Amino acid sequence: MVDTPISPLATPFPALPPIAGATPRVARARYKTWNRCDLTFVELAPGTAVAGVLTNSRCPSPEVEWCRAALTLGRARALVVNAGNSNAFTGNRGRAAVEAIAARTAGHLGCQPSDVFVASTGVIGVPLPIDKAEAGLDAAFTADITDWKSAAETIGTTDTYPKGAMTTAIVDGRTVTLVGIIKGSGMIAPDMATMLGFVFTDAAVDPALLQRALSAANAPSFSCITVDGDTSTSDTVLAFATGAAGNAMLVDDDSAGADAFRAALNDLCHQLAILVVRDGEGATKLIEVEVIAAESDRSAHRIAMSIANSPLVKTAIAGEDANWGRIVMAVGKAGEPAERDKLSIRFGNTLVARDGLAVEGYDEAPVAAHLKGQEIAVGVDLGLGDGQATVWTCDLTHGYISINADYRS
């Protein structure tokens, strides 16, 4: 992570327990001139199931392409994460780096290269140095076992604090544990999930069910956050289930405990997604945008994202200005069904516009007080149907410009 002031929206890293069958280690590959670990290696028990959701960018990194192919096999023995270099837009040299990492890790573990999952994050357009990657891996293979906080710190780039979460579920009469670590601060506008996130559980889950559960959990979590409207070339969320808890294998939705596992995964993904928005580059306010009474859920989501991605909305909230006209603008430009004279808008619990007009004589005091807080709620009622959606974003401040203007230096 970078040496910058911690986000005012940061939350403490929780005490995350070890996950049997998932062993994290970290090392220094020295991808950048920083005095910190930047390579994470997690060894996974034989038979570990894997699922993933990956960026929909048409310019994906070689790591994304590698993971997309490996996911079809459903099993994993290792995860390798590089920080400081995304290895994206690097042609054959980038692909060669991923293949070298997978081959070296497979040789160490005695598995197939396709059992090794690789993710990288950082500057685009610079090939990942294979010599540094291999030296970092060799150091990681013999490093002491570390904890999830250290792993979360190691995968960060412009993050200002490590991000992790956990939850549990009762499956087949046994308590199974899910932990997750995630990185992300900028280039956050998911067309699935705009960051690197990794979930580890000791539950025994069939890969196909794990994939369905993760895809379903992604929709209302990672795909409902945005910092800046920019979808990364490297977005990757992977879930690994080691089976060490000893529960009867979850094979489909009718398996005992499948509903509880799905609910726990949904909860964990939501926690992780909000942590990313709380660390939005330069952010001082967490913003929840709720859209109701749209023609469909899809329409509500598109409108909510139009509001959440609007620089005018985000800067107004940064300045604590209840400029609801900018909300109207963002609704209107979304390209979704909307009728001006049915539209209502609120800040917090205060209705400021209704039926296409400002609420006559509304009290601005509670709105002003709400906007001075760190957690802001914006609500839109379209008055058209039953569609609804909630997304999360952050404000846009001078800090975002400063961080990104100096990103490569």
380: nearest Cα among 331, 315, 308: 331
Inter-residue contact 85 to 118 (CB < 8 Å)? no
Residue 364, pLDDT score:
86
**Across-strand partners of 167?**
178
Phi/psi at 126 (5° precision): -115, 115
> Does 372 carry a binding-site annotation?
no
Residue 57, pLDDT score:
76
Residue 175 has pLDDT above 90, yes or no: yes
Average pLDDT in the 115-132 region?
Answer: 93
Of the spans 81-95, 177-191, 196-210, which averages the highest pLDDT?
Answer: 196-210
Per the rule left: phi > 0, alpha: psi between -120 and 50, beta: everything else, 47 is left
Residue 193, pLDDT score:
42
228: nearest Cα among 399, 408, 50: 399
> Does 310 carry a binding-site annotation?
no
Share of the chain above pLDDT 70, in %: 93
> Does 157 carry a binding-site annotation?
yes
> Does 231 carry a binding-site annotation?
no
> Does 218 carry a binding-site annotation?
no
Higher pLDDT, residue 303 or 194: 303
| Exposed / middle / buried, residue 308 (Cβ in 10 Å: 0-12, 13-18, 19+) | buried
Average pLDDT in the 14-43 region?
Answer: 96
Sorted by where each begins, the domain ranges of the chain are 22-278, 286-405
Residue 36 has pLDDT above 60, yes or no: yes
Residue 301, pLDDT score:
96
Annotated catalytic residue, options 40, 167, 194, 236: 194
75 confidence band (pLDDT: 50, 70, 90): very high
134 confidence band (pLDDT: 50, 70, 90): very high
Tens digits of per-residue pLDDT, 343-386?
A: 999 999 999 999 989 999 888 899 999 999 999 999 999 999 99
Structure tokens at 234: 């490297």
Report the distance separating Cα 241 and Cα 49, nearest Å.
Answer: 5
In degrees, rounded to 5, the angle at the alpha carbon of residue 55 between the alpha carbons of residues 51 and 59 is 135
Tens digits of per-residue pLDDT, 296-306?
A: 999 999 999 99
Paired sense of beta strands 75-85 and 116-123, if any: parallel
Report the distance separating Cα 136 and Cα 133, nearest Å.
Answer: 5
Domain 286-405 in this protein, CATH class? alpha beta
Average pLDDT in the 175-194 region?
Answer: 73
Residue 56, pLDDT score:
78
Structure tokens at 342: 């049915």
Residue 152, pLDDT score:
97
Q: For residue 320, what is the DSSP state?
A: T
Structure tokens at 316: 């107004």
**Least confident stretch, 12-16, 161-165, 401-405:** 401-405
Under 8 Å CB-to-CB from 319, ≥6 apart: which residues? none
Compute the mean pLDDT over every residue in the chain, rounded to the nearest whole number: 92
Tens digits of per-residue pLDDT, 248-271?
A: 999 999 999 999 999 999 999 999
234 confidence band (pLDDT: 50, 70, 90): confident
Q: Is 177 a catalytic residue?
A: no
Residue 158, pLDDT score:
82
Residue 185, pLDDT score:
67
Q: Does CATH number 3.30.428.10 belong to domain 22-278?
A: no
> Does 397 carry a binding-site annotation?
no
Residue 111 has pLDDT above 60, yes or no: yes
Residue 58, pLDDT score:
76
Within this chain, domains 22-278 and 286-405 share the same CATH topology: no
Report the distance separating Cα 215 and Cα 73, nearest Å.
Answer: 17
